[in-house]
Structure 1
Amino acid sequence: MPVAFVAQPARALIAGGLFLAAALGAAPAPGATSAERCAEVFEVATHGGSTTRYAFASAEPGDSPEATISLLLLPGGSGHLALDDSGCPHKLTANSLVRSLAAFAAEGFATALLDAPSDFQGEDGLGSFRTSAEHADDLGKVIASLRQRSGGKVWIVGTSRGSLSAANAAARLRGLAAPDGVVLTSLLMSGQTPAKKAWAAQTVFDLPLESIDQPLLLVGHVDDRCVRSPPGLMAQVAARTRSVRWQIVEVAGGSGDAGQVGLAACTGNSAHGFSGQDKEIATGITRFIRGGEYSER
């Protein structure tokens, strides 16, 4: 259940109670024809001759406004999902966004689950590339493809290390390549110092957050013991942006392993990964996207 939130529509503070072919013409990836596929696979041409795949599941036809809204989902970790030609991920399957695909579909939204580019599928995955301008440009190409495909808005949703990619896109992109809104969950706000690899210390504070003006939702867990995502810092992220509508939410409960601490707690089966709360989190996110607050009062 949500235990606290702070919302600021039009910068007026409200405090609450508890609480891949060409970007504009992506074609199905070769071989993505299985009748039992998880989703339709598309490829977008990205940086330096690379390609980037996403698994697209359209919304059920209907008259609801959300039927034309696509959610571009960016998982954490390496970002490499190893999507097969049927749109099924073979890695990062315990990630909260991967687990929540059905929950978002039940809310009436199309989803696009993004894999790492073809040249960033090694052990480190996206690594330091997540905060680069080139990565933001790649995400803009995917967003433009989705916008053409659905004919509607595109919201970008990033969790854990995926929050770096989502915030990067929201901060740097403009026009039709920019997301219409951004959701960051279990966002990385504290660097790992010392770190064996410099990019492991990257946080959202390393990005030009002042350029974010889209609606912004920040979701953390009060019991998140991952050293990288202390929920108490979310207010500092929101304060750096120029978003016309934002909300901070801290949730409680779930079935996360409370015994994990430090880097060991930065997993999908912990509070960091909102274990046992997929439907609850998806419902709150989609309520905000529709223009309301994460929680009903």
Structure 2
Amino acid sequence: MFKRLIGIAALALSCTAQAQPQPQPTVVDLPTRPGVTQRMLVITPPEPKAAVVLLAGGHGGLQIFPNGSFKWGEGNFLVRSRQLFADKGLMTVVVDAPSDRQRAPFLNGFRQTAEHVTDLQATIAWLKTTAKVPVWLVGTSRGTQSAAYAATVLQGADAPDGLVLTASILSDDKQRPVTAMPLEKIQVPVLVVHHQQDGCAHCAYTDIPSLMAKLTHARRSHLITATGGKNQGDACAAFAHHGFNGLETDVVGQIADWILAP
């Protein structure tokens, strides 16, 4: 009888927890440059502890619709994991290409430009003003080229409060890889997350030491090495080891814990 009552109580608590509505995402069109806006999908949990700006890989043209759905990129590691970040108490912002880059090549050839940095600077400033919490840039794959470059340029009050690089671009014959950037300019904390079996030719795990070695002025830096999970499709695509397939909850949990650590 005693065990039966415990079961009923646990079920009641489970139902109560499930009945609590999740915060609804909102779509925000933020003015960033004269005549240019940047569309963002924003999830705001109750009393957020920090904010994460999620920068997808590939060409980055998510083409977010007014209802919050995506024309492209729904399967991207950060995009598909957005609710996991919010569940950890982080205000979560998925950033689209700006309004003047809403057709091919989208962010290709644009990620390391002054205009792109201005767009991200406006996003950081908006979050610091509205949410009044620390703001972290989080990039994956080619999104690491956006996040790392912005972090090398933005300083002082304009800088993000931290940087997370997942599945970093470590070699590239078309655009400057993260390892070729002046990473010594970054003074904020930097977390690097990489899958040991990442099969993408631009993201060899053996190149990670050269990335970590350049974070000489970061307030703190740390490497999280992922292993296992699922490996499906193109080695550089979202559902291979490159995209932390099957490890989303664990990887996002570790990222959130590191961001929120004292």
Structure number with higher helix proportion? 2
Q: Structure 1 146/183 Cα, relative in aligned 2: closer, same or farther at 3 Å?
A: same
User: Residue 277 in 1 paired to residue 247 in 2?
Assistant: yes
SS at match of 2:101: coil
In the TM superposition, residue 68 of structure 1 has moved relative to its aligned partner by: 3.4
SS at match of 2:38: strand
After TM superposition, list the pairs within 5 Å mapping 1:122-201 onto structure 2. Answer: 122-192=103-173, 200-201=174-175
In the TM superposition, residue 243 of structure 1 has moved relative to its aligned partner by: 0.5
SS at match of 1:119: helix
In the TM superposition, residue 208 of structure 1 has moved relative to its aligned partner by: 2.2
In the TM superposition, residue 123 of structure 1 has moved relative to its aligned partner by: 2.4
TM-score by length of 1: 0.77
Map of 2:185 onto structure 1:
211
Which residue identity does 1:273 align to in structure 2?
A: G
Q: 1 CA distance for matches of 2:203 and 2:102? A: 24
Deviations 1:243-263 (A, max 9, x none): 021011211011122xx6xxx
Map of 1:250 onto structure 2:
225
Whose radius of gyration is greater, 1 or 2?
2
Percent of matched pairs sharing the same residue: 35
Q: 2 CA distance for matches of 1:207 and 1:125? A: 22
Deviates more, 1:43-52 or 1:77-86: 43-52
SS at match of 2:187: coil
Find 2:29's aligned residue among 27, 43, 47.
43
Q: Structure 1 153/37 Cα, relative in aligned 2: closer, same or farther at 3 Å?
A: closer
In the TM superposition, residue 38 of structure 1 has moved relative to its aligned partner by: 5.3
Q: 1 CA distance for matches of 2:157 and 2:38? A: 19
Map of 2:204 onto structure 1:
230
Please say if residues 195 and 244 of structure 2, whose CA atoms lie closer than 8 Å, have aligned partners that are also in contact: yes
TM-score by length of 2: 0.86
Map of 2:236 onto structure 1:
266
Deviations 1:82-126 (A, max 9, x none): 111122323101100011112112211110000001111222211
Deviations 1:34-84 (A, max 9, x none): xx99511212222352211111111223xxxxx231111000011111111
Q: Structure 1 58/281 Cα, relative in aligned 2: closer, same or farther at 3 Å?
A: same
For the aligned residue pairs, the C-alpha RMSD in angstroms reads 1.8
Q: 1 CA distance for matches of 2:152 and 2:117? A: 9
SS at match of 2:193: strand
User: Residue 116 in 1 paired to residue 97 in 2?
Assistant: yes
Gaps of 5+ in 1: 1-35, 62-66, 193-199, 293-297
Q: 1 CA distance for matches of 2:109 and 2:63? A: 19
Gaps of 5+ in 2: 1-21
